[in-house]
Amino acid sequence: MERAFKVDDWVQWNSEAGRVHGRIVAVHEAEFLVHGYRHHATPENPQYAILNPRTGHVAYHRPQVLVRIPPPD
């Protein structure tokens, strides 16, 4: 099953803190640096930048761990 997400989709995933949700703010299809860490991404296996609206933190995840959810009210 292909999981194609786009900017402004709302998604959730499991983390050490439990279920976390956020809005996709960018799609990376090439290697990129964040705080000195190199993230590996390709068009076939992108990484998504996801903004947590509660904390303002941006997380980076592959589509395999994400589940699309409806936008919060």
For 2-58, what is each residue's pLDDT tens digit?
568 999 999 999 988 899 999 999 999 999 999 999 999 999 999 999 999 999 999
Residue 1 lies in a domain: no
pLDDT at 36: 95
Q: Flag whether 3 is in a domain.
A: no
> What is residue 3's predicted lDDT score, i.e. its pLDDT?
66
Residue 5 lies in a domain: no
Angle ∠(27,61,10) on CA atoms, nearest 5: 70
Q: What does pTM read for this prediction?
A: 0.89
Q: 2 in a domain, yes or no? A: no
Total of domains in the chain: 1
Q: Cβ(39)–Cβ(32) under 8 Å?
A: yes
pLDDT value at residue 2: 54
Answer yes or no: is 48 within a domain: yes
Q: In terms of residue numbers, what domain contains 21?
A: 10-69
58: number of Cβ within 10 Å:
13
The answer to whether position 4 is within a domain reads no
Answer yes or no: are the C-beta atoms of 67 and 58 closer than 8 Å. Answer: no
Please check the confidence at residue 1 and state whether its pLDDT lies above 50: no
